């Protein structure tokens, strides 16, 4: 019997058991839409935040032309922001504008940043902002050169004349008054417009004006340390003892005024002046170019004649050279002489004559030598005299000259200012001469002379009558030979009688002559009286009587 291998039956634990796995579900595609939207919204929000610029506030006096959500902020005609709100300030005196600027504009904001509302405007002879008539007003910006974290600003009421990024230099001018100057008034150099007035303020003490003048590059190099500025506003007409002067810079300056500057032509070229250098703004070109006198010697002149036509600033002349000017005109009563004197205070400039005196005098700068020279000049006839500088205007000036025949006089150094001797002017001398002639003619016994002449004529007639009677008597008693001689004597007596008769030409001429002398005396009296009341009549003539 064959052996067979017996295989044991498998047990239940050895049989693998199948397990059911749960079915996986894929998400629905509809959920992708909100997820993508959320991601897109987040990206947009993050991008908006990243692209958002700074928020600023600007204070203005008025909200004219400004509307929230409409008014733009522009720089070089590019929109860089929008106005988001307009409210009143807490004190109700101003308005506060809130604006949102674009991304990457932080570098435009700083301490020197300026904002203003661009509207149609006429200033300084220029018209600006005409485009806003159709597009509406917008806010302009002048960015700062250095960025800071400043976000609150005070706006300007009008656009600045000079922006921060404009090439050139600004200078300070000191003036007595504004004249025709305004913001935007042009500056001229050799009649070329090279800049304008950027601002002006009244000095705190109220005695002057401070003007800011901006000169564009490259013309600012012509403003040097010795440059002179002067008013060139409109037409400068001057009538004084020096005559009639008319000056102007251009047609623009006639309409809106202007300021001109230039260095004195007789001085060498100086270095360019630094920004904010201060200059004096003179009234006209002559005043600006006049060399400043470092030394002034005051004197007082006492006149006893009319000062009509003499004004403050009139020149003091020495043989054609201006060596001073009139500073003050007054009057005072002299108790000693019981008369009214007219004191005129003058300033003499010794520097203008010192160069000539140094050739002949040593130590002329010493006070003692100055006194000695002036005393010697006065001793030789140096006097002050009023003279006519212009026949048209009748303006007077003071002449210092050596007068021949001048009486003895000297300078009164005891008073201050010292008193320099004077002499009557030519007009006064002419008036005194006319008055003297009138007085002499008036002193002539015209009436007595006429009576004496008439009495003399009567006596002559009486003598002639006696002679006629004598000739008639002799005619009958003398011999015939003598009758011819008597006849000739009779004819001579008749001719003398005719000559001396009241209606004879000789006597008539004598009467006419006496009457003319009387009329001349009266005319001289009238002339002297009129000249005493109207001394300017010798220059301008007699005024017509009002009808």
Pairing between β-strand 126-128 and β-strand 121-123 as defined by DSSP bridges: antiparallel
Q: What is the mean pLDDT of residues 314-328?
A: 85
> Does residue 417 share a domain with residue 302?
yes
> Does residue 533 share a domain with residue 458?
yes
- 491: CB partners within 8 A, 6+ apart: none
In a domain, 490, yes or no: yes
Q: Give the confidence band of 265 by pLDDT, cuts at 50, 70, 90.
A: confident
> Does residue 285 share a domain with residue 192?
yes
- Between 524 and 216, name the one with better pLDDT: 216
In a domain, 34, yes or no: no
pLDDT on residue 372 = 82
Q: Which two tokens stand for residue 305?
A: 């004649």
Tens of pLDDT, residue by residue over 404-458, are 877 788 888 888 888 888 888 665 555 556 556 666 656 656 566 666 666 666 6
Domain limit, last residue, from 256, 289, 322: 289
- Between 528 and 402, name the one with better pLDDT: 402
In a domain, 8, yes or no: no
Tens of pLDDT, residue by residue over 271-282, are 999 999 999 999
Residue 297, classed as helix, strand or coil, is strand
Tens of pLDDT, residue by residue over 445-491, are 656 666 666 666 666 666 666 666 665 665 565 555 555 665 666 66
Whether the per-residue pLDDT at 26 is higher than 60: the answer is: no
pLDDT on residue 286 = 79
pLDDT on residue 1 = 45
Q: What is the mean pLDDT of residues 227-242?
A: 71
> Does residue 417 share a domain with residue 338?
yes
pLDDT on residue 261 = 94
> Does residue 210 share a domain with residue 309?
no
> Does residue 149 share a domain with residue 60?
yes
pLDDT on residue 369 = 74
Residue 367, classed as helix, strand or coil, is helix
Vertex 444, ends 439 and 446: CA angle to 5°? 130
Whether the per-residue pLDDT at 118 is higher than 80: the answer is: yes
Pairing between β-strand 315-318 and β-strand 321-329 as defined by DSSP bridges: antiparallel
> Does residue 308 share a domain with residue 272?
no
Contact 174, 280 (CB under 8 A): yes
**Domain count across the chain:** 4
For residue 321, which of 417, 401, 243, 406 has the smallest C-alpha distance?
401
Q: What is the mean pLDDT of the chain?
A: 76
- Percent of the chain residues topping a pLDDT of 70: 60
In a domain, 315, yes or no: yes
> Does residue 394 share a domain with residue 281?
no
In a domain, 42, yes or no: no
Q: Give the confidence band of 35 by pLDDT, cuts at 50, 70, 90.
A: confident
Rounded Cα gap, residues 545 and 329, in angstroms:
32
Q: Which two tokens stand for residue 417?
A: 């200012």
pLDDT on residue 4 = 52
> Does residue 97 share a domain with residue 57?
yes
In a domain, 81, yes or no: yes
Rounded Cα gap, residues 39 and 458, in angstroms:
150
Domain limit, last residue, from 387, 403, 424: 424
Domain limit, last residue, from 424, 454, 482: 424
Q: Give the range of the structural domain holding residue 261, as residue numbers without chain letter.
A: 168-289
In a domain, 84, yes or no: yes
The secondary element (H helix, E strand) that includes residue 146 is none
> Does residue 150 share a domain with residue 177?
no
């Amino acid at each position: 019997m064959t052996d067979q291998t017996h295989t044991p039956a498998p047990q239940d634990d050895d049989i693998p058991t199948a397990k059911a796995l749960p079915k996986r579900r894929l998400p629905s595609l509809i959920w992708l839409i909100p997820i993508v939207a959320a991601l897109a919204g987040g990206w947009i929000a993050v991008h908006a935040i990243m692209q958002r610029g700074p928020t600023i506030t600007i204070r203005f006096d008025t909200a004219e032309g400004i509307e929230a959500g409409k008014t733009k902020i522009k720089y070089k005609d590019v929109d860089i922001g929008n106005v988001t709100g307009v409210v009143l300030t807490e004190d109700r005196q101003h308005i506060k504008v809130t604006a949102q600027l674009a991304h990457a504009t932080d570098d435009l904001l700083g301490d020197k940043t300026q904002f203003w509302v661009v509207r149609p405007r006429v200033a300084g002879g220029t018209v600006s902002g005409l485009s806003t008539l159709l597009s509406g007003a917008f806010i302009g910006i002048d960015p700062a050169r250095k960025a800071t974290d400043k976000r609150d600003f005070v706006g300007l009421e009008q656009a600045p004349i000079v922006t921060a990024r404009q090439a050139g230099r600004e200078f300070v001018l000191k003036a007595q008054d504004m004249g025709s100057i305004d913001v935007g008034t042009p500056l001229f150099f050799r009649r070329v417009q090279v800049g304008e007035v950027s601002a002006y303020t009244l000095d705190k003490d109220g005695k002057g004006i401070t003007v800011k003048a901006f000169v564009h590059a490259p013309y600012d190099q012509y403003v040097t340390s010795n440059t002179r500025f002067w008013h060139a506003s409109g037409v400068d007409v001057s009538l004084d003892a020096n005559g009639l002067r008319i000056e102007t810079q251009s047609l623009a300056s006639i309409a809106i005024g202007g300021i001109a500057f230039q260095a004195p032509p007789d001085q060498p070229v100086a270095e360019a002046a630094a920004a904010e250098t201060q200059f004096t703004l003179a009234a006209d070109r002559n005043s600006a170019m006049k060399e400043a006198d470092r030394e002034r010697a005051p004197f007082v002149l006492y006149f006893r004649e009319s000062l009509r036509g003499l004004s403050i600033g009139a020149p003091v002349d020495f043989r054609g050279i201006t060596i001073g000017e009139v500073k003050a005109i007054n009057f005072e009563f002299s108790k000693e002489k019981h008369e009214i004197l007219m004191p005129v205070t003058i300033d003499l400039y010794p520097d203008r004559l010192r160069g000539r005196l140094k050739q002949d005098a040593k130590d002329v700068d010493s006070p003692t030598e100055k006194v000695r020279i002036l005393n010697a000049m006065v001793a030789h006839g140096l006097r002050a005299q009023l003279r006519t500088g212009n026949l048209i205007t009748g303006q007077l000036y003071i002449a210092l000259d050596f007068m021949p025949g001048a009486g003895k006089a000297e300078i009164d150094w005891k008073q201050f200012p010292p008193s320099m001797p004077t002499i009557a002017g030519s007009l006064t001398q002419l008036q005194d001469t006319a008055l003297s002639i009138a007085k002499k003619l008036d002193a002539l016994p015209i009436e007595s002379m006429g009576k004496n002449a008439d009495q003399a004529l009567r006596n002559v007639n009486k003598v002639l009558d006696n002679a006629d009677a004598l000739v008639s008597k002799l005619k009958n008693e003398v011999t015939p030979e003598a009758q011819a001689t008597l006849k000739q004597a009779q004819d001579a007596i008749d001719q003398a009688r005719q000559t001396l008769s009241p209606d004879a030409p000789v006597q008539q001429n004598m009467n006419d002559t006496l009457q003319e002398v009387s009329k001349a005396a009266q005319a001289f009296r009238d002339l002297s009286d009129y000249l005493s009341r109207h001394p300017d009549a010798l220059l301008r003539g007699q005024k017509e009587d009002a009808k």
